[in-house]
Amino acid sequence: MRDPALPVYVVDTHALFWYRRDPSRLSPAADAVFRLADGGGAVIIVPAIVVAELFYLTQKLGRAMSTAAIISDIHHSREFAFSPLGQAQLEALERVEGVSEMHDRLIAAEALVHHAPIVSKDNVLRGNPMVDVIW
């Protein structure tokens, strides 16, 4: 169970992928969030849609990770918490304006549900006034 006193962040697919595979691609601010969480000072929420996108991304690169392995890694980590797609996220979709791509919209909805900034390089999310984005 996560400590409710810790700051919470939501991660998008590429930021999580780069953290795991090529941290040099992270911005200093994004890297600082991951380091904070790795040290036990924050929790990073991984939305279900990010797990699905990671599966497809790794499959496309010829190094497919199973969704079960991705979720297991999240559950066994200190810094991450898995968030299944549920009613709260679906209801928050209606509040996300200016994000037409469904995957990004679900990530933004996750951020609204958790009142948390998103760690993302995505320009559409970064330019959206509905969510706070760290990059």
Task: From 108, 130, 121, 98, select the one nearest 30 (Cα to Cα).
Answer: 121
> In whole numbers, what is the pLDDT of the chain averaged over residues?
94
Q: What is the DSSP letter of 93?
A: G
User: H or E element: which one contains 50?
Assistant: helix 48-60
Q: Tokens 């928050």 correspond to what residue?
A: 92
Q: Give the model confidence (pLDDT) of 15-24 as tens digits.
A: 999 999 999 9
Sign of CA dihedral 100, 106, 96, 19: negative
Task: Kindly report the CATH number that applies to the domain delimited by 8-134.
Answer: 3.40.50.1010
- Cβ atoms of residues 41 and 75 within 8 Å: no
Q: Model pTM?
A: 0.93
The answer on pLDDT for 2 being more than 90 is: no
Q: Which two tokens stand for residue 111?
A: 């951020």
Task: From 86, 85, 87, 53, select the one nearest 70 (Cα to Cα).
Answer: 53
The answer on pLDDT for 7 being more than 60 is: yes
Query: Distance (Å, rounded) from C-alpha 109 to C-alpha 10?
Result: 10
Query: Distance (Å, rounded) from C-alpha 82 to C-alpha 44?
Result: 9
For the chain, what are the domain ranges?
8-134
The answer on pLDDT for 1 being more than 70 is: no
Q: Give the model confidence (pLDDT) of 23-81 as tens digits.
A: 999 999 999 999 999 999 999 999 999 999 999 999 999 988 899 999 999 999 999 99
The answer on pLDDT for 89 being more than 90 is: yes
